[in-house]
Structure 1
């Protein structure tokens, strides 16, 4: 049965955000690309938990709010979704959906309060990811669900490019991007380690499901990568790429012959023991 009382979360003071925070002028487009790329997978998995009217849900690192909004529609009219972010400027409240500034590593949250906790592409960015995972686990009511959707960016090869040089440039771009995330404290392979971490945090019924997609010029994941060549331009140049190379790799990804594998996306569910 869903919990009956709305939980209370302490509101954080503005502080240090994620490695690539939402105050960047291109963050709204990043959220749009991520939603187009990942929302179908995320919502299908969330629906399988049985989330419905009356549930209390927590969306950690809600970003642009697409999943928080979807959850609010599922739990209406008597449930509630709490959407948190260290910088929730892209989130809007509505009936059944409240928005809070909150840092999952440092700020307190209620224990045993939520029927469902979800985070997507959050813990990979946090050096203190185990601390954050423990807090989210404690926030679940007995029998409640935790779902983490996370990348493993160590895999994602080019499958076909206009030339060998074009394919090599694309893979060099991926390598520079991966090093950039590591330098910022992220774990590029966290997705494949999330299930073990969830078990070690005390969750049961762990179910990791990997997803792969074939990418081409019109794929939402490719649109995201092209966007990141602009969004993260300064960091990519600091990592060794030139503006000319970034322009060229955009053209490679837009080429009609371009094909690549996505990275592996792991959607991992577990439950707090009853």
Structure 2
């Protein structure tokens, strides 16, 4: 894939990207792996979150789609979920706020009666070349959005998760190969991998599994919204496969971790990196 230099305002909109990311709209085929389950997906409006929402719906799950303020992208995702014959619930708002996280889970419980799967995927990043460029406000917001939200969501969801439930955190190759220009983001991605490993041990007696997925470069709205245009143009070309992933290439891993077929996978960090090793 060749992507031209481009720039957007944060948080980025999928419909304005060139080329448009492939979230499996035309390609993903379900086979009933998540029949009867309900899922909460943060950052479900676009990118990896949209790809996971499409896959989950086509596998039989109802989906609550959490997003910040990208209303049109979120509506597109909801339409795709409903076209798969599943219920879609849209909830906009700021996950850096603990109360919003609790309200999100409460909405899912009121709509679905339970939460079988929690996918904590929404993230914030910004590229900086020096420590001086990172404000205290940005540091706090990045941690609140990326890792504190996972804590608040999980704490609220676990009482409503039956045995067989699954918590999935979106980590990153940055969790152990941190990019210096993404220092706050990289720190949160390491924390996500660590915290989900703790949850796996804490919640195992309840029959609830917890894992993280560690993507390499993925073509999502976060890229043109948070990187300078010249980095966008070269994004993902330094991995062995020579290109960034499409979000659709991540979705099957989330399906496995959410499904009963992954019933003995817990405490894992699954790397999807295009060939870059992850420790």
Distance 1:207 1:28 in 2: 36
Selected match of 1:98 from 85, 88, 91: 88
Paired residue for 1:24?
12
Deviations 1:63-93 (A, max 9, x none): 3233222222222xxx633323233521233
Q: Which has the higher helix share?
A: 2
Indicate the SS of the match to 1:143: coil
Structure 2 residue 173 is the aligned partner of structure 1 residue 191: no
Distance 2:197 2:18 in 1: 26
Aligned pair in 2 of structure 1 residues 98, 211: CA closer, same or farther (>3 Å)? closer
Structure 2 residue 181 is the aligned partner of structure 1 residue 176: yes
Distance 2:12 2:180 in 1: 23
| Structure 1 unaligned spans of 5+ | 1-19, 157-170, 214-220, 235-242
Distance 1:259 1:207 in 2: 33
Structure 2 residue 219 is the aligned partner of structure 1 residue 224: yes
Contact kept in structure 2, 1:125 and 1:186, CA below 8 Å: yes
User: Aligned residues, how many?
Assistant: 200
Aligned pair in 2 of structure 1 residues 196, 33: CA closer, same or farther (>3 Å)? farther
Paired residue for 2:56?
71
Q: Which has the higher strand share?
A: 1
Distance 2:213 2:11 in 1: 30
Aligned pair in 2 of structure 1 residues 197, 228: CA closer, same or farther (>3 Å)? same
The alpha-carbon deviation at position 232 of structure 1 amounts to 1.3
Aligned pair in 2 of structure 1 residues 148, 250: CA closer, same or farther (>3 Å)? same
Distance 2:197 2:9 in 1: 26
Distance 2:40 2:239 in 1: 41
Aligned pair in 2 of structure 1 residues 88, 212: CA closer, same or farther (>3 Å)? closer
What is the correspondence of 1:40-119 to structure 2 with a 5 Å cutoff?
A: 50-52=33-35, 54-64=36-46, 65-75=50-60, 80-89=62-71, 90-92=73-75, 93=78, 94=82, 95-103=85-93, 105-107=98-100, 108=103, 109=106, 110=109, 113-114=113-114, 116-119=116-119
The alpha-carbon deviation at position 119 of structure 1 amounts to 0.9
| Structure 2 unaligned spans of 5+ | 1-7, 124-144, 264-279
Contact kept in structure 1, 2:53 and 2:63, CA below 8 Å: yes
Distance 2:151 2:170 in 1: 14
Which structure would you say has the larger Rg?
A: 1
Paired residue for 2:153?
132
